[in-house]
Amino acid sequence: MRAKSRPPVIAVTGGKGGTGKSTVAVNLAAGLSASGLKVMLVDADVDGPSCASLLGLKLEAGKEVKTFLPIIDEKKCVGCRKCVEVCPEHALVGLQGEVPRLFEELCSGCRACQIVCGHFAVREGGKTIGTIYIKSTDGITLVAGELVPTEPRSPVVARATVLHAMSELQNGGYDLAIIDTAPGVHNTVAQPLWVSDYALAVTEPTPLGAHDLGFILDLTEELELPVGIVLNKADIPGGLKNELLKTAHERGVNVVAEIPLDREVLHSYMAGIPVVKKAPDSPAGRSLRYLVSLVGKMLEEGKI
């Protein structure tokens, strides 16, 4: 349950990538901001953040996200191999009596090596694994996390991004936050969902979209998180719309909006202007404005 002192948080999520999750999140933020609400938009898809592009913003001059990286003090190390044996990622390698060698790309920053070393030979080191950016435009404050390319620690950067956003949300006079999660049902997705009060599961009427919708509904059910389905590209030729509607009915989840295929979505992406502003009367624009009004009403009634 949401703490009364904190504004509501809506997660926009989905089982697979490419369903239009970020488009929904950005247009929902733009629409609610235009209605007079102070909105925080959080891009927690740290492997491929796109909300800034959809808003026509450039991510510059952010705050670094660092993780622990062991530094082996050769003068203190006795080559006991305890650090090597305890490392869950096998990032430390060495024979008995040798100073272990570190493979930085494998290290998860868990500190197990430092904890077990009885000779204080493992010193504190740090490594930048991501960046958190904060930008504002048209009444929206964007908090975006971005993982350093080739780094494997998406959950760490996603968690840092969400924690930073929640701290800002508490004290910034915001009316709500919208979190654009990563695709899938892994740890990087679960972390934003844990702090959310309502989720919009964005899917599409394709075999993979129908398949992965079940997984995201399983996750929201496990977290006891209320959820509504947004069916994007709803009128795609040969699509599985009826199958998705059947899944929603069987799971007791409402399809809260259907967004048709519309070239204006692509045009708005290229222009860096949300559809609800660039083409509000286009088919997709009307559907997204309906979703904005629906969510606005739920906020007014205290249902989120």
Residue 297: predicted pLDDT: 96
Average pLDDT, whole number, for the chain? 92
Give the whole-angstrom CA distance, residue 76 versus residue 125.
Answer: 16
| Among 287, 193, 275, CA closest to 234 | 287
Summarize pLDDT for 93-105 with one digit per residue, the tens: 999 999 999 998 8
The pLDDT > 90 percentage for the chain reads 74
- Residue 287, pLDDT > 80, answer yes
- Residue 303, pLDDT > 60, answer yes
- Residue 124, pLDDT > 60, answer yes
Helix axes 21-34, 283-300, angle to 10 degrees: 60
Query: Which amino acid is located at 57 in the chain?
Result: L
Summarize pLDDT for 12-34 with one digit per residue, the tens: 998 777 889 999 999 999 999 99
- Residue 212, pLDDT > 60, answer yes
pLDDT grade for 300, boundaries at 50, 70 and 90: very high
| Per-residue tokens: 188 | 């990087």
| Per-residue tokens: 168 | 């800002």
Q: What are phi and psi of 108, to 5 degrees?
A: -95, -5
Residue 2: predicted pLDDT: 47
pTM: 0.87
Q: What are phi and psi of 40, to 5 degrees?
A: -105, 130
Q: What are phi and psi of 122, to 5 degrees?
A: -105, 105
Give the whole-angstrom CA distance, residue 12 versus residue 179.
Answer: 6
Average pLDDT for 87-92: 94
Q: How many CA atoms lie within 13 A of 97 on its CB side?
A: 0
pLDDT grade for 298, boundaries at 50, 70 and 90: very high
